[in-house]
Amino acid sequence: MRGFFTKLWSTGIVGTFLAGLFVLLPIALTIVVLNWMVGNIASVLGPGSVLGELIASGGGTIVGANHKTLAFLAGLILALAIVWTIGAVVRTQAKQQLNRGIDRLVERLPVVRSIYKPLPRWFVCLPATKARISRACPSSPAALAAATGPISLVS
């Protein structure tokens, strides 16, 4: 069976056709999957759906109910802005909780703690101006600790 496919692949016309097919098949499948996804999203969020009507009514309060397409677009922009705002709040809270968790974990590991704790102080020096370097980036670690205060990864 293997010999059959090898011979089939090595012949000019069939091999060239199969090579073209193997190139076009992933592209065609990608188009089919994207079309399916867009169709499903449109059926859930489109103007004729329950969520689509909710979006259109939200936008209708901004532009007026007489302009259905404009109301839908305004509602969609409003919904995206609300989702983005919620995402920003979640990311900020998640970042703070992650930083606190890492700090607690590092505090329990003596060798890692001695390497990890000074690092945030040294990163203060990277984008510094000349005046800030002389004030916040002293040459000795003890002077640096005194100048920058306690370590906090939460900004």
What are the pLDDT digits (tens) for 15-57?
788 788 888 998 999 999 999 998 888 888 877 788 888 888 8
Give the end-to-end CA distance of the chain in Å, rounded to a whole number.
Answer: 65
**pLDDT computed for residue 51 by the predictor:** 84
Distance CA 140, CA 112 (A): 20
Q: How confident is the model at residue 155 (pLDDT cuts 50, 70, 90)?
A: very low
Sign of CA dihedral 5, 10, 16, 20: positive
Rounded mean pLDDT of the chain? 76
What are the pLDDT digits (tens) for 6-24?
776 666 777 788 788 888 9
What are the pLDDT digits (tens) for 141-153?
555 555 555 554 4
Percentage of the chain lying above the pLDDT 70 cut: 72
Amino acid at 128: A
**pLDDT computed for residue 42 by the predictor:** 82
Distance CA 147, CA 135 (A): 7
Query: What are the tokens at 102?
Result: 């890492």
Q: What is the largest CA-CA distance in the chain?
A: 77
> Reduced to 3 states, what is the DSSP secondary structure of residue 121?
helix
Q: Please name the residues in contact with 57: beta carbons below 8 A apart, sequence gap of 6 or more.
A: 65, 71, 75
Query: What are the tokens at 43?
Result: 């059926």
What are the pLDDT digits (tens) for 62-104?
888 788 888 888 888 998 999 998 888 888 888 788 778 888 8
Contact 61, 77 (CB under 8 A): no
- Chain-centroid distance, C-alpha 153: 21
Query: Do you know the residue count of the chain?
Result: 155
